Structure 1
Amino acid sequence: MHVDLPEKLYYSIGEVARAFDVNTSLIRFWEKEFDALKPKKNAKGNRKFTPEDIKNLELIFHLVKERGFTLEGAKTHLKENKRNTLDKFQLIRKLETIKAQLNDLKDQL
Structure 2
Amino acid sequence: MKIELQQGKLYYSIGEIASAFGVNASLIRFWEKEFDILKPKKNAKGNRKFTPEDVTNLKLIYHLVKERGFTLDGAKTHLKENQKKTLNKFEIIQKLETIKNQLTEIKNNL
Both proteins in one fold, TM over 0.5: yes
User: Into which bin does the TM-score normalised by the smaller protein fall?
Assistant: over 0.9
Which residue pairs with 2:89 in the alignment?
88
Specify the alignment match of 1:76 in structure 2.
77
Per-residue deviation, 1:22: 0.2
Q: How does 1:17-56 map to 2 (within 5 A)?
A: 17-56=18-57
Letter in 2 for 1:86: L
SS at match of 2:4: coil
* 8 Å contact kept, 1:13–1:49: yes
Gapped runs of 5+ residues in structure 1? none
Which residue is 1:60 aligned to? 61
Give the TM-score, by structure 2 length: 0.98
Q: 1:2-36 deviations in whole A, cap 9, x for unaligned?
A: 31101200000000000000000000000000000
SS at match of 1:48: strand
* 1:105 aligns to 2:106 (yes or no): yes
- Distance in 2 (CA, whole Å) between partners of 1:16 and 1:48 is 10
Deviation at 1:64, TM superposition (A): 0.1
Q: Distance in 1 between matches of 2:63 and 2:2?
A: 10
Partner amino acid, structure 2, of 1:41: K
Give the Cα separation in 2 of the matches to 1:25 and 1:33. 12
SS at match of 1:4: coil
2: CA distance between counterparts of 1:2 and 1:37?
A: 20
Instruction: Give the whole-Å Cα distance in 1 for the aligned partners of 2:86 and 2:34.
Output: 18
Please give the TM-score of this superposition, normalised by the length of structure 1: 0.99
Structure 1 residue 71, shift from structure 2 partner: 0.1
RMSD: 0.5
Matched residue of 1:6: which SS?
A: coil
**After the TM superposition, which parts of structure 1 deviate over 4 Å for at least 4 consecutive aligned residues?**
none
Bigger RCO (CA 8 Å, 6+ sep): 1
Tell me the amino acid that sits aligned with residue 22 of structure 1: V
Identity %: 74
